Structure 1
Amino acid sequence: MGRLDSQREYWDTAGTTKTFGYPLEIGWLDQVPRDAPVLDYGCGYGRLTAELTGQGLTAVEGVDVSPALVGRARDEHPGLRFAVLDDPPHLAHPDGSFAAALLFAVLTCVPGDDAQRGLVAELRRVLRPGGLLYVSDLPLQDDERNRERYDRFAGRHGTYGVFETDDGAVLRHHTAEWLRALFEGFDTVRERELDARTMNGRPVRAVQLLLRKRVAA
């Protein structure tokens, strides 16, 4: 994953001040045993890692590319497990290590096609056969402000939906077709759209997917 796709410098500076608020539907994970290993990939300051632990999941691990955010997570949630990804998206875990993984507002922070494919492939690797991947991310928005940003930055970044924020992040909103293609090797268990807020507090329409890793025939 290249510098643009990890954006470690951004997350270690401006990104440490952000608030992440995409809602978690804990009922989607009811079938995960309470002691099963669960991965919160792109955990930020540990909000969801702590929420999952508070709901009785006892083996949750959060990982993130940003040492500053992981430091904040450790300060705010002492006793929980957090690690810095030194070489994203690669994880220091054997194949099939996790019963479930969360990927909340991570793809939007990884603008490149190949980087997104590599990230999903790595999560597929570390999930058990039949393991669950709970994704929350952003489709293309239809408001004037976002459409203008998509048009303005498409030439620079080569993908419609990639744009730059005023404080230096490069983000991506996705077509439904791209998201379907990206999760090859998974079956959709549940899907929903919902109103949410971005890390800068703006209203946005989000999509959440509960996916199951296919069991080899």
Structure 2
Amino acid sequence: MTISGQAPREASAMSDLDSQVPYWDAAAATKTFTHPLHLPWLDGIGRHAAILDYGCGYGRTMADLRRSGFDNLTGVDTSPGMIARARRLHPTMRCAVLDAPPALPCPDAGFTAVLLFAVLTCVPGDDAQHRLIGELYRVLRPGGVLYVSDLLLQHDERNRSRYESCAGRYAGYGVFETGDGAVCRHHSRERLSTLLSRFETVGTRTIPVPTMNGHTSTGIQILARKPAAT
């Protein structure tokens, strides 16, 4: 698989709202990501299996995987700033800027597992989310797993107010603006189930997650399997 080191903006298959590269480039040096990696979900995967971290950020989850013995890891992200930080922190890791998200320059069925950690929350559009999940389905081998970690709709007053104030500006309840300029999305369980309808759900966990801006939200992790070929 060949992935180039720079992302031409005109080639992007997503709208600016669904990639927000300038925001993530500016945030690359300061944000800390916290979604936990539940390693028992990967117990059945060989340590040499090909694993993709889509939206790898600065390589935190890839580093966790490597410490656990996985040695065939690829990370991609839309943000050159995030990838630059990843390369500084983990110079031997294979990670690169994604040229035309969500398209991946790799063949069908090339990965045994794909991680999608706190990515859907950063891709607020319905169509963009469906294209992303479809592309990950394509690159997973039959029987491979997609490990999603994201945020559910929150029910506190602060979040409800954000959802309601943005409802007329963006399509879909749960889309909101952060105080520092990002547009994000929280999801109902039904929405996530719809997105993953082509997969078989293997496991689900509900967890508290510290957010990148210092709050605590209810997160969800889903392990989904691409059906084996028949």
TM bin, normalised by shorter chain, reads: over 0.9
Gaps of 5+ in 2: 1-13
Q: CA deviation at 1:216?
A: 3.6
Count of residue pairs brought into register by the alignment: 217
Q: CA deviation at 1:166?
A: 1.3
1:98 counterpart = 2:146: no
TM-score (norm 1): 0.98
Distance 1:196 1:165 in 2: 16
**RMSD between superposed Cα atoms in Å:** 0.8
SS in 1 for 2:128: helix
SS in 1 for 2:169: helix
1:122 counterpart = 2:135: yes
Distance 1:201 1:165 in 2: 12
The answer as to whether partners of 2:28 and 2:81 remain within 8 angstroms in 1 is: no
Gaps of 5+ in 1: none
Letter matched to residue 89 of structure 1: P
Q: For 2:25, which of 12, 23, 45 is the aligned residue?
A: 12
> Which residue matches 2:145?
132
Letter matched to residue 11 of structure 1: W
> Which residue matches 1:109?
122
> Which residue matches 2:99?
86
Q: CA deviation at 1:136?
A: 0.3
> Which residue matches 1:172?
185
1:157 counterpart = 2:183: no
1:214 counterpart = 2:223: no
CA deviations over 1:29-84 (Å, ceiling 9, x no partner) = 01111101000000000000111011000101111000010000000011011010
The answer as to whether partners of 2:147 and 2:222 remain within 8 angstroms in 1 is: yes
CA deviations over 1:76-129 (Å, ceiling 9, x no partner) = 011011010010011111000000010000000000000000000000000000
Give runs of aligned pairs for residues 57-68 of structure 1, distance below 5 A: 57-68=70-81
Name the % identity.
58
Distance 1:190 1:178 in 2: 17
1:143 counterpart = 2:161: no
> Which residue matches 2:58?
45
> Which residue matches 2:213?
200
Letter matched to residue 46 of structure 2: P
Letter matched to residue 4 of structure 1: L
The answer as to whether partners of 1:14 and 1:167 remain within 8 angstroms in 2 is: no
